Amino acid sequence: MSLRILRPGLLTTVQDQGRHGYQRVGLCPGGAMDPVSLALANALVGNAPDEAALEITVIGPELAFEREALVAVCGAEFDSAFPHNRPVLAPKGTRFNLGRAKRGARAYLAVAGGFAVEPVLGRRSTYLPGRFGGFEGRALKHGDVLPLRDKRAARRFSTLKNTRDGTVRWSAPPLTLPDREPILVHVIEGQHFASFDSGSQRAFFDTVWSVAPDSNRMGFRLSGPPLGRPQADEILSGPTCLGSVQVPPSGVPIALMADHQTTGGYPRIAEIASADVARLAQLAPGGKVHFARCSLEIAGELRRDARERLESALRGIAWEYQRK
């Protein structure tokens, strides 16, 4: 009565939209690296936007459905034939291997009704460094069996218009995938921007940075020229946020991602505009990015545009769910 993991893939975890309110005791919100694609996947199967789904990273898992389920895969495109960006009624016994990511790095697999894993501190996200949340606080592995909460996949599917062969003839738009690389990511100058030498300030914006192989859910290390400060004084530790770009003494910038530290002692050269974090999260190691300076006003506009695109897509999906 559940989803069986035959092969786990590179890193498959249960994630929702994250736990908020604990940053003052050092716990970051965590949650999906690409919350936009998670919201789309949830909408496609009729879930609330913050329901927990599987976050699948670069190499997909092989899965078997031990009962009928309504499934949607959004975010990165993987090379399997399993339809992306649309609701799919997977009959009992359905088995598929998602393969490798062709475009983007992270896909979200949502099932109607969500996974029956216990919330921890109110949420179902897996926080890997603290080994809690999600499925036993860890990445999925061979033989894991995730119970599904909902038994009415077929009924939910039957409320969709225009269905054929267990799916639909339309698809939701991918909103966070790169059309080409390097992707352009907007940043706001960080608290310590002015303390970097002018060459480093220029290099930060002129360089096509490459996501280093040792990047993870905590942070993306960016390969490029080392950045430096003329007075390499220690700064007083202060708060960080999702998208802070820290520069440790090595000069290698680190963009803080979902499982970031909540405070830090390294100078912050920039913060990534919140509208662009999900797009950065879709870069696999080796992916290319360059940064453009923006004002708070522009960041606000980018955010409103991104939300409008998401809400428009969600409205389209909701319309398809109204009874014929």
Interface with another protein (CB under 8 A) = 20-27, 29, 120-121, 127, 129-130, 132-133, 188, 191, 235-244, 261-264, 271-274, 296, 299-300, 303, 307
The nearest distance, CB 306 to another protein, in angstroms, is: 10
Kindly state the smallest distance separating residue 201's Cβ from another protein, in Å.
Answer: 18
Query: Shortest gap between Cβ of 204 and another protein (angstroms)?
Result: 16
Listed residue (300, 17, 317) closest to 161, CA to CA:
317
Residue 9 or 133: the one with the smaller Cβ distance to another protein is 133
Strand-strand pairing, 183-189 and 288-293: parallel
How near is the Cβ of 180 to another protein at its closest, in Å? 25
CB of 238 to another protein, least distance (A): 5
Smallest separation (angstroms) from another protein to the CB of 241: 5
Q: Which two tokens stand for residue 274?
A: 């919140």
Minimal distance, residue 134 CB to another protein, in Å: 11
Residue 97: is it exposed, middle or buried by C-beta count within 10 angstroms (0-12/13-18/19+)? middle
Cα 75 from Cα 315, distance rounded (Å):
18
User: Which CB, 119 or 213, lies closer to another protein?
Assistant: 119
Q: Kindly report the three-state secondary structure assignment for every residue of 216-249.
A: CCCEEEEECCCCCCCCCCCCCCEECCCCEEECCC
Of residues 121 and 184, the one with the C-beta less far from another protein: 121
- In the complex with another protein, which residue's Cβ is closer, 1 or 232? 232
- Measured from the CB of residue 301, what is the shortest distance to another protein in angstroms? 10
Residue whose CB is less far from another protein, 104 or 267: 267
Is 81 or 296 the residue whose CB approaches another protein more closely? 296
138 token code pair: 């860890």
Q: Where is 37: in which H helix or E strand?
A: helix 35-44
**In 10 A of CB 212, how many CB atoms?**
16
Give the integer Cα–Cα distance in Å for 242 and 262.
9
The nearer residue to another protein, 12 or 261, going by C-beta atoms, is 261
Residue 236, number of CB atoms within 10 A of its CB: 5
Look up tokens 């921007």; give the residue.
193
HSE-CB at 240 with a 13 A cutoff on CA atoms is 31
Q: Are 13 and 139 a contacting pair, CB within 8 Å?
A: yes
Q: Which two tokens stand for residue 32?
A: 């999906």
| CB-nearer residue toward another protein: 80 or 262 | 262
**Side chain identity, residue 218:** M
